[in-house]
């Protein structure tokens, strides 16, 4: 960004298009806009994954000049996009299994490399994608192998924090206290257990691969920019996108973007970029909110707010996690008051 | 060129002559020397261009092969035993998608108890997976079958498993005739995929298929296998014309014409069987051997034709369907439906138990005297079996079975009668 964007209006934290550099401005979709994931698919209303995938794959398609092949793990994205003859994919796309998207991506990349050496088409790029279950759990071995070998694949995880396709069960990306079908809101410690779960972006960084980034569907330009940056690099790259799931989270379809933004603004979902294992950029929190603001609209956390349910302790523990993230990743601007999150001076847009 | 080399090396060089473009390797005994050989051929530039990928598991090995094959590359991998089971989900996926991957299975037992030695439990566990399964009787055949496997797989767009006995073949130094590159090139044209991940003509591969078409897709896999029944003998003939060697196609008969007793088997034990039968024939016994090269597709009609003149059929198998008996026998019986033959299943050689001529002779003499039970276990040590059964009857906490038996056996690591 050439210069800090100034917020002139109080009470709003959006940035007017006219204040942005032309290349950063939002544009309305035109008939020329290519959709990698066509309309007519069967995702739920307000599906964060459909939105995230469309923007991410479109950006990757643009960055590769239309020369892109996708490998997809089993899951919502695969199921809602491909019941034949109604495939929504406008690029060469393969689904093999739940746990092998990264390895299938490796195989495609290897084949393309040999074909290019034999005088075939060169410059064809590969993405592999899946949900959090297919990435952090069952596909983790293949993903780590792909990272470790630095295979030329961009892996995109659309994280909706659970096995939504099979009916909202707990994954290793499910946050503590969240109610799922296998971590019911019953007993002394309702919802998912504290002290468990994987931070896959950090694990990806530990492989010291060229590029790791996180993003949310609340900031689609940021997502696109990160895809573009990833596509400008070769080797193993990882993008972890938070995609709220109205069904699994028990949230209103209209709140998908708002929840993604709140997850970031409360500090629970840190947005950052890392190269070769080092964090290089952090998406600063614009207006800090307590975690309760993010959790309350989601029915999966309803037990935390019910009268006499004793959710206060759990809420405090979740808030402590957010605070820890904010300290660890430096999510608050220096000019933002650490205690209140109130801006003390000019705010820099993330 | 005639050479005296290890079976694994022969297979590695034969595979290299087939110009694979992507090779995925995850080590498991006794497959290791094959992928080591290929790794060296790729790294030295002898086989180029080719991507040799050291993957993190067999599941990844097959998955990388799936991606590579779908992107139009000739893909190869090799495995054995636990490795084949670990990749099982992807094995089914490769055939379900119709991707012509070729894989060597260096046949080895499946644990527990863990055991690295040869039997056929591993590939038999995948007999219904949709892959074509060819069994090599010796190292020359292993070499030759790989070259045919790529041709067959790519013609049909179905994957082919070449099974060779672990250690007995993979680690045996034998004389083989290694073909020249030009010969293989003439026999095996470059891979032309039926389906391709192609940016010029985007397709979706691997969509969900519901009840409206699933059965038909599965039937078409069977139809491919039926086509293979025709193509395997034709390719064997063509191979013979190109390379001057008979690789027998679906079956290999030995002294079947006048045999009233036929032993059916797969793999390297066929060599021992032939020698045993030679000896018995010298004593005037009319006995023959039927070797099955193509286990999937199973050549029902050819097996029936080969066996219908016999009075007794003994299926000698290195696999075991616990709770039933034989695996191959079930298929042989199906081939013989309606024929009144005396049939016996002999389970032998599990976990590398040596199948000796002496034991085979003893067993076959029993068979000829109609004294062989319908299901028997060659050289089973009933002493330690019964001791364990007694132990279990006597006390609740009888302890781990395998360890008890090993204690009873003493310090002998291998058992040769």
Q: Is residue A65 less than 8 Å (CB to CB) from chain B?
A: no
- Residue A23's pLDDT is 72
From chain B, pick out residues whose CB is under 8 angstroms from the CB of A82.
204, 206-208
For all residues of chain B together, what is the average pLDDT?
96
- Rounded to an integer, the average pLDDT of A83-110 is 94
Q: Is residue A234 less than 8 Å (CB to CB) from chain B?
A: no
Q: Which single residue is written with the structure tokens 């906490």? A: B397
What is the least distance, in Å, from the CA of A282 to any CA of chain B? 32
From chain A, pick out residues whose CB is under 8 angstroms from the CB of B97.
96
pLDDT band at B324 (very low <50, low <70, confident <90, very high): very high
- Taking the C-alpha atoms of residue B403 and residue B409, their distance in angstroms, rounded to an integer, is 10
- The partner residue sitting opposite B73, judged by closest CB among A66, A91, A114, is A114
**What is the β-pairing status of strands A211-216 and A272-275?**
antiparallel
**What is the β-pairing status of strands A272-275 and A278-282?**
antiparallel
Residue A199's SS3 state is coil
From chain A, pick out residues whose CB is under 8 angstroms from the CB of B49.
113-114, 117-118
pLDDT digits (tens, 9 = 90+) for B366-406: 999 999 999 999 999 999 999 999 999 999 999 999 999 99
Per the CB < 8 Å rule, is A95 touching B24?
Answer: no
- Taking the C-alpha atoms of residue B360 and residue B355, their distance in angstroms, rounded to an integer, is 7
Per the CB < 8 Å rule, is B56 touching A141?
Answer: yes
Residue B289's SS3 state is strand
From chain A, pick out residues whose CB is under 8 angstroms from the CB of B68.
107-108, 110-111
From chain B, pick out residues whose CB is under 8 angstroms from the CB of A79.
208
- Taking the C-alpha atoms of residue B314 and residue A164, their distance in angstroms, rounded to an integer, is 54
Per the CB < 8 Å rule, is B51 touching A113?
Answer: yes
Beta bridge partners of A183: A180
- Rounded to an integer, the average pLDDT of B238-255 is 95
Please report how many Cα atoms fall inside a 13 Å half-sphere around the Cα of residue B192, on the Cβ side: 3
Helix axes B269-282, B357-368, angle to 10 degrees: 60
pLDDT digits (tens, 9 = 90+) for B123-153: 999 999 999 999 999 999 999 999 999 999 9
Per the CB < 8 Å rule, is A100 touching B197?
Answer: no
**Secondary structure (DSSP) of B258-282:** T-SEEEEE-TTHHHHHHHHHHHHHH
> Scanning every residue of chain B, which has its alpha carbon at the shortest distance from the alpha carbon of A83?
B208
Q: Which of A138, A71, A78 is nearest to A107 (CA)?
A: A71
Residue A159's SS3 state is strand
pLDDT over threshold 80, residue A343: no
- Write the Ramachandran bin of A119: left for phi over 0, alpha for psi from -120 to 50, otherwise beta: left
Q: Which of A118, A306, A268, A3 is nearest to B19 (CA)?
A: A118
pLDDT over threshold 90, residue A35: no
Beta bridge partners of B134: B162, B294
- Residue A27's pLDDT is 66
Please report how many Cα atoms fall inside a 13 Å half-sphere around the Cα of residue B78, on the Cβ side: 32
- Taking the C-alpha atoms of residue A209 and residue A145, their distance in angstroms, rounded to an integer, is 12
- Residue A347's pLDDT is 40
Within 8 A by CB and 6+ apart from A215, the residues are: A222, A223, A226, A239, A240, A241, A242, A271
- Taking the C-alpha atoms of residue A153 and residue A240, their distance in angstroms, rounded to an integer, is 14
CATH code of the domain occupying B251-377: 3.40.50.920
- Residue A346's pLDDT is 39
What is the least distance, in Å, from the CA of A179 to any CA of chain B? 29
Q: Do domains B2-243 and B251-377 have the same CATH topology?
A: yes
From chain B, pick out residues whose CB is under 8 angstroms from the CB of A61.
none
| Strand arrangement of the beta sheet that strand B204-205 belongs to | A278-282, A272-275, A211-216, A237-242, A154-159, A125-131, A68-72, A93-95, B204-205
Per the CB < 8 Å rule, is B49 touching A95?
Answer: no
- The partner residue sitting opposite B22, judged by closest CB among A67, A87, A107, is A107
Per the CB < 8 Å rule, is B22 touching A111?
Answer: yes
Q: Which single residue is written with the structure tokens 């991707």? A: B99
Q: What are phi and psi of B174, to 5 degrees?
A: -135, 165
- Residue A1's pLDDT is 43
What is the least distance, in Å, from the CA of A117 to any CA of chain B? 7
Question: How many Cβ atoms are within 10 Å of B238's Cβ, its own excluded?
Answer: 14
Per the CB < 8 Å rule, is A79 touching B59?
Answer: no
- The partner residue sitting opposite A144, judged by closest CB among B56, B68, B93, is B56
CATH code of the domain occupying B2-243: 3.40.50.970
B25 within 8 A of B55, measured Cβ to Cβ: yes
Query: Tokens at residue B409, please?
Result: 């056996």
Per the CB < 8 Å rule, is B53 touching A121?
Answer: no
What is the least distance, in Å, from the CA of B154 to any CA of chain A? 16
Per the CB < 8 Å rule, is A82 touching B207?
Answer: yes
Break chain B into its structural domains and give their ranges: 2-243, 251-377
- The partner residue sitting opposite B206, judged by closest CB among A67, A94, A142, is A94
pLDDT digits (tens, 9 = 90+) for B73-121: 999 999 999 999 999 999 999 999 999 999 999 999 999 999 999 999 9
- Rounded to an integer, the average pLDDT of B44-66 is 98
pTM here is: 0.95
Within 8 A by CB and 6+ apart from A195, the residues are: A176
- Residue A307's pLDDT is 80
- Rounded to an integer, the average pLDDT of A102-109 is 98
pLDDT band at A21 (very low <50, low <70, confident <90, very high): confident
Beta bridge partners of A144: none
Measure CA of the first residue to CA of the last residue in chain A; give whole Å.
9
Q: Which fold has domain A36-329?
A: Rossmann fold (3.40.50)
pLDDT digits (tens, 9 = 90+) for A275-311: 999 999 999 999 999 999 999 999 999 999 998 766 7
- Residue A348's pLDDT is 40
pLDDT band at A86 (very low <50, low <70, confident <90, very high): confident
A335 within 8 A of A347, measured Cβ to Cβ: yes
Break chain A into its structural domains and give their ranges: 36-329
């Amino acid at each position: 960004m050439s210069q800090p964007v100034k917020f002139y209006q109080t009470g709003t934290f959006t940035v007017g298009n006219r204040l942005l550099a032309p290349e950063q401005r939002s544009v309305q979709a035109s008939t020329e806009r290519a959709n990698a994931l066509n309309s007519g698919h069967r995702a739920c209303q307000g599906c964060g994954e459909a939105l995230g995938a469309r923007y991410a794959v479109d950006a990757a398609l643009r960055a590769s000049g239309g020369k892109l092949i996708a490998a997809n793990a089993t899951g919502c994205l695969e199921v809602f996009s491909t019941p034949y003859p109604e495939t929504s994919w406008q690029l060469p796309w393969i689904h093999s299994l739940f746990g092998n998207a990264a390895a299938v991506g490796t195989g495609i990349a290897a084949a393309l490399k040999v074909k290019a050496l034999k005088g075939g088409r060169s410059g064809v790029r590969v993405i592999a994608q899946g949900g959090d279950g297919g990435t952090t759990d069952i596909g983790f071995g293949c993903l780590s192998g792909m990272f470790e070998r630095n295979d030329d694949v961009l892996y995109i995880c659309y994280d909706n924090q659970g096995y939504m396709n099979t009916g909202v069960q707990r994954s290793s990306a499910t946050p503590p206290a969240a109610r799922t079908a296998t971590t019911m809101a019953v007993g002394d410690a309702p919802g998912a257990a504290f002290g468990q779960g994987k931070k896959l972006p950090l694990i990806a960084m530990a492989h010291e691969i060229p590029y790791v980034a996180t993003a949310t569907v609340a900031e689609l330009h940021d997502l696109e920019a990160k895809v573009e940056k990833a596509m400008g690099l070769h080797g193993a790259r990882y993008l972890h996108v938070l995609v709220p799931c109205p069904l699994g989270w028990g949230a209103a379809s209209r709140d998908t973007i708002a929840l993604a933004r709140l997850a970031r603004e409360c500090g629970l979902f840190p947005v950052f970029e890392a190269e070769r294992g080092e964090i290089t950029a952090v998406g600063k929190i614009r207006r800090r909110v307590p975690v309760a603001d993010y959790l309350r609209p989601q029915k999966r956390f309803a037990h935390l707010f019910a009268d006499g349910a004793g959710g206060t302790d759990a809420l405090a523990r979740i808030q402590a996690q957010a605070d820890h993230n904010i300290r660890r990743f430096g999510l608050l601007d220096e000019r933002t008051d650490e205690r209140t999150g109130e801006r003390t001076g000019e705010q820099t847009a993330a | 060129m005639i050479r005296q080399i290890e079976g694994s090396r022969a297979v590695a060089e034969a595979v290299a002559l087939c110009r694979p473009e992507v090779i995925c390797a995850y080590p498991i005994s006794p497959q290791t020397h094959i992928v080591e050989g290929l790794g060296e051929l790729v790294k030295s530039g002898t086989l180029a261009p080719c991507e040799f990928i050291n993957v993190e598991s067999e599941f990844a090995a097959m998955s990388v092969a799936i991606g590579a094959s779908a992107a139009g590359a000739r893909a190869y991998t090799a495995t054995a035993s636990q490795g084949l089971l670990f990749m099982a989900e992807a094995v089914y996926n490769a055939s379900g998608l119709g991707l012509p991957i070729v894989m060597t299975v260096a046949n080895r037992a499946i644990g527990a108890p863990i055991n690295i030695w040869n039997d056929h439990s591993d590939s038999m566990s995948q007999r219904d997976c949709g892959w074509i399964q060819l069994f090599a009787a010796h190292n020359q055949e292993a070499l030759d079958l790989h070259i045919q496997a790529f041709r067959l797989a790519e013609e049909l767009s179905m994957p082919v498993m070449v099974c060779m006995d672990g250690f007995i073949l993979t680690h045996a130094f034998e004389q083989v005739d290694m073909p020249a590159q030009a010969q293989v090139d003439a026999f095996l044209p470059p891979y032309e995929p039926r389906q391709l991940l192609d940016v010029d003509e985007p397709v979706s591969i691997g969509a969900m298929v519901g009840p409206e078409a699933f059965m038909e897709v599965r039937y078409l896999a069977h139809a491919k296998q039926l086509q293979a029944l025709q193509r395997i003998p034709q390719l064997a003939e063509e191979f013979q014309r190109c390379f001057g060697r008979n690789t027998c196609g679906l079956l290999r008969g030995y002294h079947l014409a006048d045999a009233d007793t036929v032993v059916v088997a797969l793999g390297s034990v066929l060599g021992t069987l032939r020698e045993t039968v030679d000896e018995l024939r010298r004593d005037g016994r009319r006995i023959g051997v039927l070797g099955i090269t193509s286990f999937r597709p199973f050549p029902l009609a050819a097996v029936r034709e080969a066996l219908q003149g016999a009075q007794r059929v003994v299926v000698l198998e290195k696999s075991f369907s616990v709770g039933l008996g034989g695996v191959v026998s079930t298929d042989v019986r199906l081939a013989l439906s309606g024929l009144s033959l005396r049939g016996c299943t002999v389970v032998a050689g599990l976990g590398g138990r040596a199948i000796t001529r002496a034991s085979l002779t003893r067993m076959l003499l029993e068979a000829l005297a109609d004294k062989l039970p319908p299901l028997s276990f060659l050289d089973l040590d009933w002493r330690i079996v019964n001791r364990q059964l007694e132990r279990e009857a006597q006390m609740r906490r009888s302890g781990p079975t395998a360890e008890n038996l090993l204690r009873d056996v003493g310090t002998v690591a291998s058992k040769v009668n």
